Amino acid sequence: MTDAHAELAELATALRPALLRLTRVIRAQRADMSITLTKLSALATLYQRGPMSAGELAAQERVQPPSMTKVIAGLEASGYVYRETDPADRRQSILAVTQAGADLLEEERRSRDAWLTGHLGVLTPAERNAIAAAIPALAKLADS
Amino acid sequence: MTDAHAELAELATALRPALLRLTRVIRAQRADMSITLTKLSALATLYQRGPMSAGELAAQERVQPPSMTKVIAGLEASGYVYRETDPADRRQSILAVTQAGADLLEEERRSRDAWLTGHLGVLTPAERNAIAAAIPALAKLADS
DNA sequence: TATTGTTATACTCTATAACTATA
DNA sequence: TATAGTTATAGAGTATAACAATA
């Protein structure tokens, strides 16, 4: 007789190290690049989803507000994002990506030596399809 | 005409935030547990793969040796691993999981409220299958 | 009072460089 | 000399608690 919980625990046990190690590898590969993975991710989200407040961006990225404050400060200092006080609620600022930020994202996307893009090319089409098919479920897990 | 590189870049762009956010959520959920995700992962690897040296464990976990030194020190202090000097090469120690370490892993696996296990249960069977199918490809990426 | 964001502080994770012990 | 591991040091990432400004 099948134990459903044991099966889920098995899946969790297999998934956890795969996520952790791959994230480590991706971070390490970025060590000598212009911005870190954390900053790149926040910048990409802001670009894709459009201008938003610091709190909204923190929620999107699944970090606490003080963590996002530091990430934004770095992106702002580098000239990749700017902010304007929301006239409707002066506690908030609306963040947006600058042209330099958009250029950086485009460069990252296009770059032939971007590690993850290059290594995805080493996988078989079936393996890439398997990853593509799993992304919505992984995103749903992060949301739940 | 299809640009293969652009497609890979798209996949990378979708995968990266999913990995990063899910890893953040999993780490955050462990905040009040007995050991951190990094230590749990190293302990689980040592248990599954069997006794090995510190250098081997670092390579398995995709971290540099000094990082693993600290992880091992914590696990040893907690009584979850022990080491014995390799008689054939006295520079190395062979690490192994103690009974307390094995008990902890069993407890983690069994625990009904382990976050990841619980939340995998919320996914549909098709979503879980998609994740299970992607794990080997994710592991291959981390290896490549 | 409640909400948004920041500052202050601290801990975990991880790396590189330099060193020690052994081979 | 070369290798395995540790120590020293530093930076990134992240959190909680306390605070300030605004609603």
Q: Dump strand ranges (E) for chain B.
A: 52-53, 81-85, 93-97
CB contacts, 8 Å: A20 with chain B: 23, 37-38, 41
Among B residues 83-142, those touching chain A with beta carbons less than 8 Å apart: 109-110, 112, 114, 116-123, 127-128, 130-142
- The residue of chain A with its CA nearest to that of B38 is A20
| Residue range B88-101, pLDDT digits in tens | 999 999 999 999 99
Q: Mean of the pLDDT values across residues B43-52?
A: 97
| Mean of pLDDT over chain B | 94
Q: Which residues of chain A have pLDDT under 50?
A: none
Question: In the predicted model, is pLDDT for residue B133 greater than 90?
Answer: yes
Question: In the predicted model, is pLDDT for residue B106 greater than 60?
Answer: yes
Per 3-state DSSP, what percentage of chain B is helix, strand, and coil (rounded to 5)? 65, 10, 25
Enter the pTM of the model. Answer: 0.94
Predicted local distance difference test score (pLDDT) of residue B2? 65
Question: By the 8 A CB rule, do B10 and B53 touch?
Answer: no
Cα Rg for chain B, rounded, in angstroms? 18
Predicted local distance difference test score (pLDDT) of residue A17? 95
Predicted local distance difference test score (pLDDT) of residue A2? 65
- How does residue B4 score in pLDDT terms, banded at 50, 70 and 90? confident
Structure tokens at B89: 């090469």
Question: Which phi and psi angles does A142 have, rounded to 5°?
Answer: -65, -25
